[in-house]
Amino acid sequence: MANGQGPQGHERNNAATGDADAGGMRQFVNHIEFFLSLSDVRFDLASVGVAARPDTSVWRFVTTPHHLRTLHGGMSRALASYERRFGEIEPGEGNSGG
């Protein structure tokens, strides 16, 4: 979470979760695809064209439409906070503005 809290506001144990701040491994993602159905939402995340990682690995997570709404709200707040602090982010390739 953007506020450093885990689910339901409980403090995260960075060492146990492997967060990079605690010396764990991070996965760089520069590609995402969404797949929607009535009952679930699938995100396929990938690291494409990264020299340090010649193989393209895909990480998939699946959630419900309800949790997608929650995720969207959290990401929107985090993005707005980032832009207030550091300036507007230009739309990425293939985006129409946001």
pLDDT for 75: 93
| pTM, 2 dp | 0.56
User: Where are any strands of DSSP class E within 1-98?
Assistant: 31-36, 41-46, 58-63
Residues forming beta bridges with residue 43, ordered by sequence position: 34, 61
Q: Which two tokens stand for residue 76?
A: 């929107």
Task: Compute the half-sphere exposure of residue 4: CA atoms within 13 Å on the CB side of its CA.
Answer: 2
pLDDT for 20: 46
pLDDT for 15: 41
pLDDT digits (tens), the chain, 98 positions: 344 444 444 444 444 444 445 556 777 888 899 999 999 999 999 888 766 666 677 889 999 999 999 999 999 999 999 999 999 999 876 544 44
User: What is the distance between the alpha carbons of residues 65 and 48, in angstroms, rounded to a whole number?
Assistant: 27
User: What is the distance between the alpha carbons of residues 48 and 13, in angstroms, rounded to a whole number?
Assistant: 30
pLDDT for 58: 84
User: What is the distance between the alpha carbons of residues 68 and 65, in angstroms, rounded to a whole number?
Assistant: 5
